Amino acid sequence: MNKWLKENLWRHAVALSMSLFALFPLYLVVISSFNSTGSLQLTSFIPRELSLNNYKLLFTSPAIPYLTWLRNSLVIAGIVAVTSVFIGAASAFAFSRLKFRGKKTGIQVLLLVQMFPAILALSAVYVIMERVYKFAPSIGLGSQGGLMLVYLGGAMGVNIWLLKGFVDSIPVELDEAAKIDGASAVQTYWLIFIPLAAPVLAVVTLLSFIGTLNEYILARLFLVEMTSRTVAVGLQQFISGQYASNWGPFAAGSIVLSVPIVITFLSLQKYIVSGLTAGSVKG
């Protein structure tokens, strides 16, 4: 017993301390969502009075279209996640398996672009989309369509490189066997690559969905009208005031927004473990 205490007690103490440190912000958000005073201050670890007023405010107040914001967030994040994975998978397959002029240069340019922070292109994106609005308002500045186009452009490089690493790990012999049987490149892509790539595609979809759902800067820049905003932009009005920060509804809205993320994560859980290590070992 003494030997176990000397060798393992400190490990358990460190693990427990780190777990409590990581879970405390989540606990604070959950407790604040039930705090009717709208404050982040806790008088005790377990408050005596808990209220659902913050949740009622989100779903019943006519001045707060929270359900519209939530729908906008889910639609934008879902479309961006599915479309980016579809385009990224096709591009990764082309860069890995097909032969065409400019292949090496194209993949190097994608890597070079990812070296620069996306915030550097914010002003350029604003000017471009402002001019696009003049002849195509549906995909210009202030539109959800334009915001989705910007999201897709920013996610292509990372997705292509991640998926290309997985495609490179698939034995070339499978492609050669498919060609012998008379399969075209498109048939090889749909019948061989897509089934084998299901784990990594699920991971890329999940990461893209969560990243888009939580994104604030571009969404705040594009979405001006109240009914077109996402949850991240809409909830900001609760804490934007210098002397009128109301953290209760903000925390409640954040908790509700996390539900689709948890559901998506649990539904793709069987693919995540294998997908995170896909492409790390060849063969």
5 is a domain residue: no
Considering the domain boundaries, does residue 13 fall inside one?
no
DSSP 103-152: HHHHHHHHHHHHTS-GGGGHHHHHHHHHHHHHH-GGGSTT-HHHHHHHHH
Evaluate whether residue 27 is within a structural domain: no
What are the structure tokens assigned to 174, written together? Answer: 């499978």
Is 107 inside a domain boundary? yes
Structural domain that includes position 157: 66-276
The answer to whether residue 75 is domain-embedded is: yes
Whether 209 is in a domain gets the answer yes
Tokens 């460190």 sit on residue: 14
Q: What is the pLDDT of residue 236?
A: 84
Instruction: Specify the pLDDT at position 101.
Output: 85
Q: Is residue 162 part of a domain?
A: yes
Tens of each residue's pLDDT in the chain, 283 residues: 677 777 778 888 889 999 999 898 888 888 888 887 766 666 666 767 778 888 888 888 888 889 999 999 999 999 999 999 999 898 888 888 888 888 888 888 887 877 777 777 888 888 888 888 888 888 888 888 889 988 888 777 778 888 888 888 888 888 888 888 888 888 888 888 888 888 888 888 888 888 888 888 888 888 888 888 899 888 887 777 655 567 888 888 999 998 888 888 888 777 766 655 554 444 4
Q: Is residue 126 part of a domain?
A: yes
pLDDT in tens, 22-39: 898 888 888 888 887 766
Per-residue pLDDT, 165: 82
CATH number reported for the structural domain that contains residue 138 in this entry: 1.10.3720.10
pLDDT of residue 276: 53
Domain count of the chain? 1
Supply the pTM of this predicted model: 0.84
The pLDDT of residue 44: 65
